Amino acid sequence: MSQSLTHTKRDTASPFFQLRLPVGTVWPAVPIPEMSQVWAAYQELDRTQWLSPEELELGQLQQVRLLVQHCAEHVPYYCRVLSEAGVLSRPLESLSDFRQLPFLTRELYQRHAAELHATQLPAGMKEVSSDYTSGTSGVPIMVRKTNRDGLWWNAFYLRDLEWSGIDPRGRLAAIRLLAKSPEQLQRLLLGSSSKVWGQLGQYLIENGPAFGMDIRQDPRLQLEWIERIQPNYLLSMPSNLDFLAGLLRESGRRIPELKAIQAIGESLPLDVRQRIETAFGVPVKNLYSTTEAGYMASPCPLGDGLHVHAENVLTEVLDANDRPCQPGQTGRLVITSLTNFVNPFLRYEMLDEVTLGLGSCPCGRGLPLWQHVEGRRHPLFFLPDGRRHSSMGVNIGVRKIGGCHQFQILQREVDHFIVRIVPDKTWTPDHAEQIRSVIHREFESPVRVDVETHNFLERPAGGKLKLVVVELEKR
Ligand SMILES: [Zn+2]
């Protein structure tokens, strides 16, 4: 009986979560004071997702105006750049005006890091934390966050769970980068458990137990751990899930209680997604979030693609000439965080590529629609004569050959490649020969190709596994 009273009639769109109520309250349902703001923010997102694209853009424009004004007054780098760009001479009339601002590249961010720190914050906002990006595309950058970023992170976390149909009352197994020290790592390679999913589970919503394991564990032992836990939901990175999927395929085993998988942290190519879904027999929900801007896009509950969290981030998808891409086209992603006032990102170039959706989504949400995020651009190999050559052909070629759970291609010298392989049961010496010929075909001059087999591939500090590493670049 009390369960049915935890949601008011107005709250029609969010019966998904069951609130934890303060002692002495059954109805009307409001959470404890410390959690009320998160709940209010989530409920507002419940409303704004149905706004039209025009209404959403108007909201974004109003927030961007405030942000630009703040940057001009309190962020030294932007005081200079905005005045040089002539943006301050007149008010921003539209988002097109805003799009006249110069891009902020990762290099510029690193070079001017001190100047990108706001000297003052709006009342009620305070700096509370900092985080580093994983550094997949170069040197990691530090990003400062305020209490406001934390609030929105939690609100979008709830939206993402609801859209993905992940009911937090179930059992969660998360295999991700967890340990921050070697001592922690030894412990977390064995797995840990908690009665709740996190802070929100403890104070805001009812939920079940959560289990965690560091992703640097051997996937074979990960799978044994998963089978002991029998989770309803599994969260991990695509490259790791793909490995686990291969192990399941080989053994013909199943995780019977599993309902959905959440993929995080790396891009999810279509073929990888299909392999994971087939092997596990459940849908894969891919969350796109970044250290720079928090929640960026989540899978539509009804349609095929991802919806941008437009209340959190203003996104642009641009072609090679910096013009906005048309529906269905692929371009590079440029973002503006609408909430970060302490380390503002105005027109920041993410090193990811996005394919835009075709028209509007059948679900009726006004939020921008993407087909998928392509992930990091393929790095360029070095040719002996100094030219650069895309690694895409080799990458796709090796993937097609198969015979392995995982692979990684390293260019150590101009004429020396190492291909690391985690073989599956179908692997034969002929696979190694095929890999050599793929690389020989791509390069006109002779190159040496060593194919090494490994039990599993070590992940770097950031946890993301790079398929192609051009070691020459670091010299
Ligand atoms: Zn939709």
Domain ranges within the chain, ordered by starting residue:
31-167+232-377, 380-474
Answer yes or no: are the C-beta atoms of 285 and 291 closer than 8 Å. no
Query: Separation of 314 CA from ligand 1 center, angstroms?
Result: 18
Cβ contacts of 351-354, under 8 Å, gap ≥ 24: 351/106, 351/136, 351/137, 351/376, 351/377, 352/267, 352/376, 353/377, 354/315, 354/317, 354/330
pLDDT digits (tens, 9 = 90+) for 309-342: 999 999 999 998 999 999 999 999 999 999 999 9
> For residue 198, what pLDDT band results from cuts at 50, 70 and 90?
confident
Q: Is the C-alpha dihedral spanning 298, 107, 75, 134 positive or negative?
A: positive
pLDDT digits (tens, 9 = 90+) for 114-142: 999 999 999 999 999 988 876 555 567 89
Answer yes or no: are the C-beta atoms of 342 and 145 closer than 8 Å. yes
3-state secondary structure of 325: coil
Lowest mean pLDDT among 24-28, 230-234, 255-259, 461-465: 461-465
pLDDT score of 393 more than 60? yes
pLDDT score of 1 more than 50? no
Query: Separation of 362 CA from ligand 1 center, angstroms?
Result: 6
pLDDT digits (tens, 9 = 90+) for 230-242: 999 999 999 999 9
CATH topology of domain 31-167+232-377: Rossmann fold (3.40.50)
Lowest mean pLDDT among 157-166, 201-210, 389-398: 389-398
Query: Separation of 364 CA from ligand 1 center, angstroms?
Result: 6
If one looks up domain 380-474 in CATH, what number appears?
3.30.300.30
Give the whole-angstrom CA distance, residue 403 versus residue 425.
7
DSSP 73: H
Query: Separation of 361 CA from ligand 1 center, angstroms?
Result: 5
Over pLDDT 70: what percentage of the chain? 95
pLDDT digits (tens, 9 = 90+) for 30-57: 899 999 999 999 999 999 999 999 999 9
Query: Separation of 382 CA from ligand 1 center, angstroms?
Result: 42
pLDDT at 3: 39
> For residue 7, what pLDDT band results from cuts at 50, 70 and 90?
very low
Residues with CB under 5 A from ligand 1 (ion): 300, 303, 361, 363, 365
In this structure, the dihedral spanned by the alpha carbons of residues 50, 51, 56 and 62, taken in order and rounded to 10 degrees, is: -120
pLDDT score of 220 more than 90? yes
Query: Separation of 47 CA from ligand 1 center, angstroms?
Result: 14
pLDDT score of 289 more than 60? yes
Query: Separation of 238 CA from ligand 1 center, angstroms?
Result: 23
